[in-house]
Amino acid sequence: MGGDIIVGGDIVVDEKIVYISLGSNLGDRASMIERAIAALNSADIRVTRQSSLYITEPVQAPGQPRFLNAVVEAGTSLLPLQLLHALLKIERALGRRRITPHGPRNIDLDLLFYGSSVIRSKELEVPHPRLTERRFVLIPLTQIAPEFRHPVLHKSMTQILAETPDRSGVRLWHTAAEGQIAGEG
């Protein structure tokens, strides 16, 4: 059981710190991310820190509208698969329809880390298997958790961001004119 606590015969799971990425490239993107964060807080996923919003180029499917992306840190007592299903339920409730892989989406929620757990199952991989290749995840994650260490690579988010080969454009949303996105070299 590890750090679990037994109260009145029931097992109470310690709250885990999790990191979740949020993205949207359809409709009112900022409002959709705000609504997703509110939904997280209503689903036993207590948001404790939130990055700024970043405007980013679509990475795997050029020609789409630009994304707004953010990362949140949250505490939850949900187990990993329960958390995954809660995120999928929130996406569906906000109108997400998975029609085209890597296609445009009004909301996308990805579980990046579940504490320092390493999970490899048919349904879920944690840490997120592609986060080290995605500046649109690493920049907001580094903003709120620069010293958080990847449980497999044993590197901080700051180190991983410095080493990523991804050079796609990522800018703070409130300071970037949408037509002036550029990669950092």
Give catalytic residues, as residue numbers.
96, 105, 108, 110
Alpha helices in the chain (DSSP H): 29-41, 80-93, 135-144, 157-163
**Cα–chain-centroid distance for residue 60?**
17
Q: Where are the beta strands (DSSP E) in 51-97?
A: 54-56, 67-76
Sign of CA dihedral 180, 138, 126, 114: negative
Exposed / middle / buried, residue 70 (Cβ in 10 Å: 0-12, 13-18, 19+): buried
1, two tokens: 């059981």
Q: Give whole-number Cα distances, 96 to 68, 76, 113, 147, 170, in Å.
A: 15, 23, 22, 32, 24
* Cβ neighbours for 42, distance < 8 A, ≥ 6 positions apart: none
